A and B are shown apart, each in its own frame.
Chain A
């Protein structure tokens, strides 16, 4: 909802000659509008359709305000520290193949897309000649001009007018969006691996966009991988991803976030499932200063399966907020959600999981569990699992626990000779192991488990 503020600025509205309400951008929004103007002035002309869309998104953004903790959805997460800064877009910085190789996931055969500071680097990525058959990958602009992206185009229009300003912002800036289409029946064995590097002293903002369209009967895996930056300067990732699973498609979606503790991330992900499809998400958050993830899954047709897995392992002053929304709109669907986290230091974890079962969604099975270990005096956890049920023939449950390590288990391990620290670490590792064990790609699982292990030992 737009809030009146002091300064009026209607430049973009005037430009595209559209009647906008006399809503006024607040200062913080203003920073981003300025950045938008500046970027447009210096970048090459975009295809008209995309340019018009982005202008409309920017105009909409101008009339918005950023959420505050008075907004129910942002009750536990303040974005003030993120949006009060003035950001610049990232510039490509030198990176060589050895650096990429050393950051790769061992023994994972992947199709690589390398980004540095938000800019795509074709030279370090898997060349298009080596993309597997059945997988079409296009840039956002390219895809939007084509005939086959009606779904994406409609989504973008909705995002341009979205009530979440970060979604609108991503749409306005939307550089380097990628559209991946998996052809009917195609089984793509190698996961697409988006390696997001950031480097350099300069602070920057990036707006990644990912589109996955899995046609009927196809199988696909994709991984968004945010690597740590060496320099301790901040950057801000404002990402949007959209996945559409047509009948009987299966998609594994990894998000591995291990950025530096100066990094900010706001993610927004939408998933739509048609009948008999199976969507599995594996979200791991190890890094970041303030991280907010929204994951919305809409079940449009019957007999789908959805598995949402999440890990958050945070310390120091980290803040990770996971918001999931399972929208059961049709009968006979199953969803299964497991988010587990360990919060230490002065870190704060937030989990808000909503399961909505609409009136026609009979025979729904929806399960949700959120468990958190709170391991230091200053750590904070806020959990808000919600069930909203409008159909009667359903089985739904959710559970949330916040607690500590089991003292008797620690004692048991110590009687077997483990030092206290080892015993504690082992139990924590086992606690998160319940989630990692759901990851189907062994190389990824091993990799994530090693990261978890390292972080636990280096506490």
Chain B
């Protein structure tokens, strides 16, 4: 092994910066899943009967399904009876201001680098922070309410806006869609709900920080965003999780609906605990994210920076049903040590003159495996569909793998579909050039990696882009920071 290869490895083996747990007393269901668990959960949340039935339908269907194993990932079998399906902070809080919030909790957010106070004042970001399963604090609510924007926890939405939930829940990801979506539909605990009324441009970036806290708690968020005609919203999702030995399952469902001329921008920075260098612990991240461009000229844009989780399996997708609708997917996925990621997107062109763009940048280091899997489907009636896909893989070290599995299915002869992919290593030539100009090796690597990811980073909102760059540096360069 060359010397620079060794340095590369030193740089790529880093410790998880956010590994700590918070001591908040929690109320916890016993382990295991059956219809009673679901009834209890639903009762606990004071849900209407129709929702309980909806959950039970999902559960009964789930029982008939098999866990899928086609992704290019390997993991220990999951015992679904060994998971806690509900846990909530015991001091059930309802706050008007941050002063009332458990200081321990606030401290947690501070350690995560997202002090609420500062965010409130400086960044203009409304934060709906979810600790485990129950939403504990929501800010900016009133300001948003003035514009008719609804931004609240999912449970609250079920109580306050049942007609909207009933109309849209499961309309993009049916409760029988896939194994993990069915599981989520049966047991989802909480999440976020966003509704942007007709013609309203949401004035701030909406943001949610999720956090898995109680050991052995499966986390099953449900997010639903509805953008009415001519509206706009930018939604940010960020995740960190504390260090644990047991693997933790995370099976979220995100549904987006964009009506005529609406634009939803959904950005994710995900750095759940990836497990240690030997692959012990870490999050299983099996997520179903799908957006429906239901209206004419609607647009849904997914941007993700994925650096965490032991196993990642997600394909944020767009169904381009409205004529002239646009779907976008920008992704940076970093894997290190023993991490495995199988991620990508699906662009389903149904309406006329639909456009989609896919830019995927994979970085593999250590002994990790990073796969891009994407489907571009142009239906029979999708006249003039255009797609462009660019999938690049960067390899750091000689024990990792990068894989590209694009599926192009075209049934209309007016379509134009282009896919390009490259795989290369961080060039010794590039490193030498930068070092000859006086840059330290780790700065040189950082510069090359950030350059490589630039097309994706520039899609992120400013404050997120900076955080993403930092995360990348942490994931890949150990001692830095």
Direct contact of A and B (CB under 8 A): yes
Interface string of A353-368 (1 = CB under 8 A from B): 0000001001000000
Could you give, for residues 409-433 of chain B, a 1 whenever the CB lies within 8 Å of some chain A CB and a 0 otherwise?
A: 1111111111111111100000000
B409–A392 touching, CB < 8 Å: no
Contact A391 B405 (CB under 8 A): no
Contacts of B70 in A (CB 8 A): 72
Given contacts A376-B413, A379-B413, A381-B410, contact A399 B420 (CB under 8 A): yes
Chain B's nearest CB lies how many Å from the CB of A197?
35
A248: shortest Cβ distance to chain B, in Å? 29
> Which among A379, A384, A402 has the highest number of chain B CB atoms within 10 Å?
A402
**Complex CA distance for A387 and B364, rounded to whole angstroms:** 14
Give Cα distance in the complex from A86 to B407, angstroms. 34
Q: Which residues of B contact A427 (CB under 8 A)?
A: none
Q: Would you give the shortest CB distance from A354 to chain B, in whole angstroms?
A: 9
Contact with B along A374-402 (1 / 0, CB 8 A): 11111111111111111111111111111
| Nearest CB in chain B to that of A351: its residue | B408
Q: Contacts A359-B399, A374-B410, A394-B425 given; indicate if A402 touches B405 (C-beta within 8 A).
A: no
Asked if B401 and A385 sit within 8 Å, CB to CB, the answer is no
Tell me the complex Cα distance, A296–B398, Å.
Answer: 25
- Most chain A beta carbons < 10 A, residue from B398, B407, B408: B408
In the complex, A376 Cα to B421 Cα: how many Å? Answer: 27
B406 within 8 A of A: yes
Contact B401 A390 (CB under 8 A): yes
| Docked CA distance A392–B411 (Å) | 36
A403 to B423, CA, bound (A): 24
Task: Enumerate chain A residues within 8 angstroms of B417, measured Cβ to Cβ.
Answer: 400-403
CA A72 to CA B69, docked complex, whole Å: 12
- Whether B421 pairs with A387 at a CB distance below 8 angstroms is yes
Chain B 380-393 interface mask (CB, 8 Å, partner A; 1/0)? 00000000000001
In the assembled complex, the Cα of A379 lies from the Cα of B393 at a distance in Å of: 32
Whether the Cβ atoms of A380 and B398 lie closer than 8 Å is no
Within the complex, the shortest CB–CB distance from B417 to chain A, in Å, comes to: 4
Chain B residue with minimal CB distance to A348? B411
Q: Please indicate which of the listed interface residues A375, A389, A393 has the most CB atoms of chain B within 10 Å of its own CB.
A: A389
Task: Given the known inter-chain contacts A386-B404, A398-B404, please indicate yes or no for A392 contacting B397, CB distance below 8 A.
Answer: yes
Nearest Cβ on chain A to B85's Cβ, whole angstroms = 32
Which residue of A has the minimal Cβ distance to B426?
A392
Interface membership of A39, Cβ < 8 A: no
A interface: dominant SS: strand
Q: Does A404 contact B (CB under 8 A)?
A: yes
Distance in angstroms from A453 CB to nearest chain B CB is 22
Min distance, Cβ B373 to any Cβ of chain A, angstroms: 10
Do residues B398 and A387 form an inter-chain contact, with CB atoms below 8 A? no
User: Which residue in B399, B413, B419 is a CB contact (below 8 Å) of A375?
Assistant: B413
A373 to B414, CA, bound (A): 10
Interface string of B52-86 (1 = CB under 8 A from A): 00000000000000000010000000000000000
Point out the residues of chain A lying under 8 angstroms from B423, CB to CB.
Answer: 387, 389, 394-397
Cα–Cα, bound, A449→B405 (Å) = 33
Q: Quick one: which of B395, B397, B414, B418 contacts A404, CB cutoff 8 A?
A: B414
Q: Identify the closest chain A residue to B411 (Cβ).
A: A380
- Residues of chain A within 8 A of B412, CB atoms compared: 374, 377
Given known pairs A382-B408, A403-B417, the reply for A392 and B403 (CB within 8 Å) is no
Q: Mark B445-471, 1 if CB is under 8 A from A, else 0.
A: 000000000000000000000000000
In whole Å, how far is B11's beta carbon from the nearest beta carbon of chain A? 14
B396 at interface (Cβ–Cβ under 8 A)?
yes
Alpha-carbon distance A359/B424, docked complex (angstroms): 14
Which A residue sits closest to B397, measured CB to CB? A392
Cβ-based interface call for B400 (8 A) = yes
Question: Once the chains bind, are A385 and B409 in contact (CB under 8 Å)?
Answer: no
Contact yes or no, A400 B408, CB < 8 A? yes
CB distance from B453 to the nearest CB of A (A): 18
- Given known A-B contacts A387-B403, A389-B393, A389-B395, A382 and B409 have beta carbons under 8 A apart: yes
Question: Is residue B402 contacting chain A, with contact meaning CB distance below 8 A?
Answer: yes
Given contacts A382-B409, A400-B419, contact A393 B425 (CB under 8 A): yes
Whether the Cβ atoms of A392 and B419 lie closer than 8 Å is no
Q: How close is B386's CB to chain A, nearest CB, in angstroms?
A: 9
Q: Which residues of chain A are within 8 angstroms of B405 by Cβ–Cβ distance?
A: 384, 386
The winner among B395, B418, B421 for most chain A CB atoms within 10 A is B421
Q: Which residues of B contact A378 (CB under 8 A)?
A: 413
C-alpha gap A290/B392 in the complex (Å): 34
Are A389 and B402 CB-contacts (below 8 A) given A396-B422, A398-B421, A399-B421? Answer: yes
The chain A residue with its CB closest to the CB of B408 is A383
Complex-state Cα separation, A53 to B3, whole angstroms: 54
B422 touches A397 (CB 8 A): yes
Chain B residue at minimal CB-CB distance from A386 = B405
Chain A residues closer than 8 Å to B406, beta-carbon distance: 383-386, 400
* Contact among A385, A392, A396, A401 with B398 in the assembled complex (CB-CB below 8 Å): A392
A395 to B400, CA, bound (A): 15
Contact, CB under 8 Å: A382 / B407: yes
- Bound-state CA distance A402–B399 (Å) is 34
Q: Which residue of A lies closest to B375 (CB)?
A: A384
Given A389-B393, A394-B425, verify A401-B401 contact (CB < 8 Å): no
Chain A nearest CB from B352 CB (Å) reads: 13
A395–B396 Cα distance when bound, in Å, is 14
Chain B residue numbers with a CB within 8 Å of A390 are 400-401
| Given A394-B423, A398-B421, A402-B416: A389 in contact with B403 (beta carbons within 8 A) | yes
B422 neighbours in A (Cβ, 8 Å): 395-397
A394 to B400, CA, bound (A): 13
Q: A384-B408, A386-B403, A389-B401 are in contact. Are A401 and B413 (CB under 8 A)?
A: no
Q: Using Cβ atoms and an 8 Å threshold, which residues of chain B touch A404? A: 413-414, 416
Closest CB-CB distance, A382 to chain B, in whole Å?
5
Contacts of A399 in B (CB 8 A): 418-421
Chain A residues contacting B424 (CB-CB under 8 Å) are: 394-396
**In the assembly, what is the distance between CA of A378 and CA of B411, in Å?**
7
What is the CB-to-nearest-CB distance from B128 to chain A, in angstroms, rounded to a whole number?
40
Chain A residues lying within 8 Å of B409, measured Cβ to Cβ, are 380-382
Neighbouring A residues of B407 by C-beta, 8 Å: 382-384
Q: For residue A380, which residue of chain B has the nearest CB?
A: B411
- Asked whether B419 lies within 8 Å of A391 as measured between CB atoms, the reply is no
Query: Which of chain B's residues have a CB closer than 8 A to the CB of A381?
Result: 408-410
**Which A residues touch B395, using CB under 8 A?**
389, 391-392, 394
Chain A residues closer than 8 Å to B421, beta-carbon distance: 385, 387, 397-399
**How far apart are the CA atoms of A388 and B411 in the complex, in Å?**
27
CA distance A396 to B410 in the complex (A): 25
CB distance from A260 to the nearest CB of B (A): 25
What does the 1/0 interface line of A399-426 toward B look like (CB < 8 Å)?
A: 1111110000000000000000000000
Q: Please report the C-alpha to C-alpha distance between residue A362 and residue B399 in the assembled complex, in whole angstroms.
A: 11
**CB pair A402 B425 closer than 8 Å:** no
Complex: A361 Cα to B148 Cα, angstroms: 59
Report chain B residues within 8 Å CB of A387: 393, 402-404, 421, 423
Residues of B within 8 A of A382 (CB): 407-410
User: With A and B bound together, what is the CA distance between A383 and B424 in angstroms?
Assistant: 23
- A333-372 residues at the B interface, CB under 8 angstroms: 359, 362
A317 to B442, CA, bound (A): 58
Most chain B C-beta atoms within 10 Å of own C-beta, residue among A362, A388, A399: A388
In the docked arrangement, what's the CA distance between A210 and B407, Å? 32
When distances are taken between beta carbons in the complex, the residues of chain A under 8 Å from B420 are: 397-399
Selected from A374, A380, A385, A393, the residue in CB contact (under 8 A) with B419 is A385
Q: Once the chains are docked, how many angstroms separate the CA of A362 from the CA of B409?
A: 33
Interface positions of B (Cβ within 8 A of A): 70, 393, 395-425
3 residue pairs, one from A and one from B, having the closest CB atoms = A392-B395, A383-B408, A387-B404
Pairs across A and B, CB under 8 Å, 6 listed: A72-B70, A381-B410, A384-B408, A386-B406, A399-B421, A402-B417
| 16 extra A-B contacts, CB within 8 A, seeds A378-B413, A382-B408 | A359-B398, A362-B398, A380-B410, A383-B406, A384-B405, A384-B407, A387-B423, A389-B423, A390-B400, A392-B398, A392-B400, A394-B423, A395-B422, A401-B418, A402-B418, A404-B413
